[in-house]
Copies of this chain bind each other. A is one copy, B any other.
Amino acid sequence: MAAKAQTYKGMKDYLPREMRLRQYIVRTLTEVAERYGFEPMQTPLVEYEATLAGKLGDDEKLIYRLQYGDDRLALRYDQTVSLARVVGQYPNEITFPFRRYAYGPSYRGERQQRGRFREFFQFDLDIVGVDSRVADAEVVAVISESLARLGFTGFRTLLNHREVLSALARVSGVAPEQAGQVYRAIDKFDKVGVEGVRAELVTSGLGDDAITAILEFIVLEGTPETVLATMREALQRDEQGLKAVEDLGTVVRLLGALGVSPTAFAVAPRLARGLSYYTGIVFEAVIEQPPIGSLLGGGRYDKLIGAFAGRDVPTVGTAFGIERLQIVMTELGLAPQESSTPHVFVTVFAAEQMAESLRLARDLRAAGIPTVSALQADKLGKQLKEADAKGVRYALVLGPDELARGEVVVKDLKSGEQQSVPRAAVVEAVR
Partner of A37, one of B6, B14, B130, B342: B342
Assess the A119–B371 pair: CB atoms within 8 A.
Answer: no
Interface centre among A48, A257, A356 (most CB of B within 10 A): A257
Assess the B44–A389 pair: CB atoms within 8 A.
Answer: no
Nearest-CB residue, chain B, relative to A53: B3
Q: Which residues of chain B are within 8 angstroms of A309 by Cβ–Cβ distance? A: 2, 5
A275 adjacent to chain B (CB < 8 Å):
no
A327 adjacent to chain B (CB < 8 Å):
no
* Stretch from A64-72, A195-203, A206-214, A265-273 forming part of the interface with B: A64-72
Q: State whether A130 and B53 are in contact (beta carbons under 8 Å apart), knowing that A15-B94, A46-B119, A370-B35 are contacts in the complex.
A: no
Kindly state the separation between the CA atoms of A53 and B3 in the bound complex, as whole angstroms: 9
Assess the B20–A40 pair: CB atoms within 8 A.
Answer: yes
Contact-residue bracket for chain A: 35 or more
* Stretch from A95-103, A152-160, A177-185, A241-249 forming part of the interface with B: A95-103
Q: Which residues of chain B are within 8 angstroms of A308 by Cβ–Cβ distance? A: 2-5
Assess the A89–B36 pair: CB atoms within 8 A.
Answer: no
Kindly state the separation between the CA atoms of A369 and B2 in the bound complex, as whole angstroms: 54
A303 adjacent to chain B (CB < 8 Å):
no
C-beta contact mask, A346-390 vs B, less than 8 Å → 1, else 0?
A: 000000001110110110011011111111100000000010011
Assess the A370–B4 pair: CB atoms within 8 A.
Answer: no
Assess the A5–B64 pair: CB atoms within 8 A.
Answer: no
C-beta contact mask, A109-122 vs B, less than 8 Å → 1, else 0?
A: 10000000011000
Assess the B44–A45 pair: CB atoms within 8 A.
Answer: no
Nearest-CB residue, chain B, relative to A135: B375
A310 adjacent to chain B (CB < 8 Å):
yes
Interchain nearest-CB distance for A355 vs B (Å): 4
A291 adjacent to chain B (CB < 8 Å):
no
The 3 closest A-B pairs by CB, nearest first: A37-B372, A5-B88, A66-B66
Q: Can you name 6 extra interface pairs (CB under 8 A) apart from A11-B44, A64-B68?
A: A9-B71, A12-B44, A19-B40, A36-B371, A45-B119, A254-B358
